[in-house]
């Protein structure tokens, strides 16, 4: 599947403009999970500052800008492969590396709750080689 790199660049730019990210200028890495259903989108994630892990959300001055870009990306993926993702994972480091992963079938793959919260913080931590 060929994906236009503009989507990845635009998504990365929108994520690092999120209020929680801007408020943590010393961040080393971040991970956001977007849950996408028909008519609804939610996100949660973490900002990593050395050994500290800070819960975060991807919101900015225009909160719909990121949601619109994700919907546009979802449609582009659908056109390319015939499937819509239900979750999107965006991981970045402060050096500008970005990794995007999709979940097409299991809408709870990266869900966080009291039972798995601590484990998920580490599971979502970006590791770039």
**Would you list the domain boundaries of the chain?**
5-123
pTM: 0.93
User: Average of pLDDT values for 91-118?
Assistant: 94
Q: What is the pLDDT of residue 27?
A: 97
Task: Report how far residue 77's alpha carbon sits from residue 26's, in angstroms, rounded to the nearest whole number.
Answer: 33
What pLDDT is stored for residue 127 in this prediction? Answer: 92
Fold held by 5-123: 3.30.500
Mean pLDDT score, 110-117 = 92
HSE-up (13 A, CA, CB side) for residue 22: 10
Kindly tell me if the per-residue pLDDT of 1 is higher than 80: no
pLDDT exceeds 80 at position 89: yes
For residue 118, what pLDDT is reported?
A: 92
């Amino acid at each position: 599947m060929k994906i236009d790199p503009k989507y990845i660049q635009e998504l990365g730019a929108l994520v690092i403009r999120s209020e929680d990210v801007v408020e943590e200028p010393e961040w080393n890495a971040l991970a956001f999970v977007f849950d996408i259903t028909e008519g609804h989108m939610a996100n949660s994630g973490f900002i990593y500052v050395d050994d500290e892990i800070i819960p975060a959300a991807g919101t900015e001055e225009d909160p719909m800008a990121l949601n619109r870009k994700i919907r546009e990306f979802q449609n582009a993926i659908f056109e390319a492969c015939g499937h819509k993702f239900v979750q999107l994972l965006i991981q970045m480091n402060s050096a500008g590396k970005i990794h995007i992963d999709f979940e097409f079938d299991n809408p709870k793959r990266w869900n966080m709750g009291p039972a798995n919260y601590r484990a998920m913080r580490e599971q979502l931590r970006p590791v770039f080689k």
